[in-house]
């Protein structure tokens, strides 16, 4: 008798399943399909030369350290550099508050591991980042879901929601949210931090896109508005240098630091020594500060979007259009996007979609949008009663 593997799986695997959307999106790897589906930065701007030199130098000068096991906390000089840099952006922290992780995705997983018992609630935005929902799902989380508008998470009912749902954590994406591209206003940020303080609920502030602002003014981070050590900050090199590094950081309150180091150790012992050392080499002379995100990431023809930064535009179509069905038609027309439903922890949002504009040339972006427009028109025509 073959082993019935499923009968052996732990309860926590119940909500781990492959999405059918991924199957459809596999075809988007074909060169003639214009994919607005990914979340990938533009590869032309990866600092290949800088990393080539940095790896060479690290191996020549400190090769035996770079290829050795190293501290779970992360590479000291890189943590120092991050603390200094975050300080310039208003986040008060020391190197001792910084834990280097394998991408922010690992940080989300560690947060689930440290805080969530099965059934514990996480307060999240509607919609929210799919990877976070997947991470929290794997710890059998439940959700308190808060609506958004153009100013980000709606905070007017937060006190009620926090009192009623008693979430363990608040997960917030204040800058150029994935998937909606929205940014939380200063007033909302202040209201969120104050409500969290009144109810003593920690906030996880996930901010991969804050530095990809193309226009307008930077807004203070939640961490910089927090004087009670209630905010855990997440940042990553994925969108400012390159995602293949798998290098990110957590800014942790003193009282949490040791527990997060302990949660990382059994996962991977530490993040790649050589990747951290080479990244430090690349960053130490201010390279990241010289990056011109505007030219690097934002195709000039994409002005049709209202996003002031990030990688995504969010679209809501008329009720009755199911973007999962639309995707099948769109792929036939050789353009792809991500249906929005997966970003809703409550599985609503059937009429929404996320478009990525950073990984195609301006010309192809335009052509893709044109094809998509055609597909939407046809679906609308096919569902006249609900139009």
CB of 273 to ligand PMP, least distance (A): 18
**Closest to 33 (Cα-Cα) out of 368, 369, 363, 375:** 368
- Taking the least distance from each CB to ligand PMP, the nearer of 250 and 376 is 250
CB of 181 to ligand PMP, least distance (A): 11
Q: Where are the alpha helices (DSSP H) in the chain?
A: 5-8, 20-25, 48-66, 76-88, 103-115, 130-137, 158-165, 186-199, 254-268, 273-283, 287-290, 293-297, 323-332, 362-382
C-alpha–C-alpha distance, residues 65 and 58, integer Å: 9
CB of 271 to ligand PMP, least distance (A): 11
CB of 379 to ligand PMP, least distance (A): 28
CB of 129 to ligand PMP, least distance (A): 4
**Closest to 209 (Cα-Cα) out of 79, 39, 47:** 39
Structure tokens at 312: 């995504």
C-alpha–C-alpha distance, residues 70 and 147, integer Å: 43
CB of 130 to ligand PMP, least distance (A): 8
- Taking the least distance from each CB to ligand PMP, the nearer of 280 and 312 is 312
Residue with tokens 């478009």: 355
CB of 42 to ligand PMP, least distance (A): 14
Residue 120, CA distances (Å) to 9, 124, 156, 157, 198 in order: 21, 13, 23, 20, 20
C-alpha–C-alpha distance, residues 160 and 149, integer Å: 18
Q: Is 377 exposed, middle or buried (0-12, 13-18, 19+ CB in 10 A)?
A: exposed
- Taking the least distance from each CB to ligand PMP, the nearer of 155 and 358 is 358
Residue with tokens 């949490």: 256
- Taking the least distance from each CB to ligand PMP, the nearer of 129 and 314 is 129
Strand (E) or helix (H) holding 231? strand 231-236
Residues that bind ligand PMP (CB under 6 A): 39, 103-105, 129, 131, 173, 178, 206, 208, 236, 238, 243, 248
- Taking the least distance from each CB to ligand PMP, the nearer of 125 and 226 is 125
Q: For 194, phi and psi rounded to 5 degrees?
A: -65, -40
- Taking the least distance from each CB to ligand PMP, the nearer of 33 and 130 is 130
C-alpha–C-alpha distance, residues 127 and 178, integer Å: 8
- Taking the least distance from each CB to ligand PMP, the nearer of 272 and 375 is 272
CB of 267 to ligand PMP, least distance (A): 14
Name the residue whose CB lies closest to ligand PMP.
103
- Taking the least distance from each CB to ligand PMP, the nearer of 239 and 371 is 239
- Taking the least distance from each CB to ligand PMP, the nearer of 73 and 206 is 206
At 306 the three-state DSSP class reads coil
Residue with tokens 């007017």: 156
């Amino acid at each position: 008798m073959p082993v019935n593997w499923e009968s052996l799986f732990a309860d926590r695997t119940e909500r781990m399943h492959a999405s059918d959307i991924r199957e459809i999106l596999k075809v988007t790897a074909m060169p003639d399909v214009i994919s607005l589906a990914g979340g990938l930065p533009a590869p032309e701007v990866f600092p290949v030369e800088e990393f080539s030199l940095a790896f060479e130098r690290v191996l020549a000068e400190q090769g035996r350290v770079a290829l050795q096991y190293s501290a779970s906390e992360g590479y000291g000089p890189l943590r120092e550099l991050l603390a200094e840099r975050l300080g310039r952006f208003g986040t008060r922290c020391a190197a001792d508050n910084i834990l280097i992780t394998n991408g922010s995705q690992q940080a989300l997983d560690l947060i689930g591991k440290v805080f969530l018992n099965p059934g514990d609630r996480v307060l999240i935005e509607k919609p929210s980042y799919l990877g976070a929902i997947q991470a929290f799902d794997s710890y059998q989380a439940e959700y308190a879901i808060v609506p958004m508008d153009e100013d980000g998470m709606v905070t007017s009912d937060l006190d009620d929601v926090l009192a009623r749902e008693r979430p363990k954590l608040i997960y917030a994406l204040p800058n150029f949210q994935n998937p909606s591209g929205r940014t939380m206003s200063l007033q909302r940020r202040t209201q969120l931090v104050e409500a969290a303080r009144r109810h003593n609920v920690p906030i996880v502030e996930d901010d991969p896109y804050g530095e990809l602002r193309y226009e307008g003014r930077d807004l203070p981070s939640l961490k910089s508005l927090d004087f009670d050590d209630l905010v855990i900050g997440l940042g990553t090199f994925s969108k400012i240098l390159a995602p293949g590094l798998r290098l990110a950081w957590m800014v942790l309150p003193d009282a949490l630091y040791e527990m997060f180091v302990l949660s990382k150790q059994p996962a991977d012992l530490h993040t790649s020594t050589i990747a951290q050392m080479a990244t430090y080499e690349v960053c130490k002379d201010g390279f990241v500060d010289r990056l011109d995100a505007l030219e690097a990431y934002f195709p000039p023809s994409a002005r049709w979007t209202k996003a002031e930064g990030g990688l995504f535009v969010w679209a809501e179509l008329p009720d009755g259009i199911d973007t999962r069905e639309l995707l099948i038609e769109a792929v036939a027309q050789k353009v792809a996007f991500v249906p929005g439903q997966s970003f809703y922890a409550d599985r609503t949002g059937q009429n929404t979609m996320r478009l990525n504009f950073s990984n195609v040339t301006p010309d192809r972006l335009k052509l893709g949008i044109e094809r998509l427009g055609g597909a939407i028109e046809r679906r609308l025509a096919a569902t006249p009663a609900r139009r």
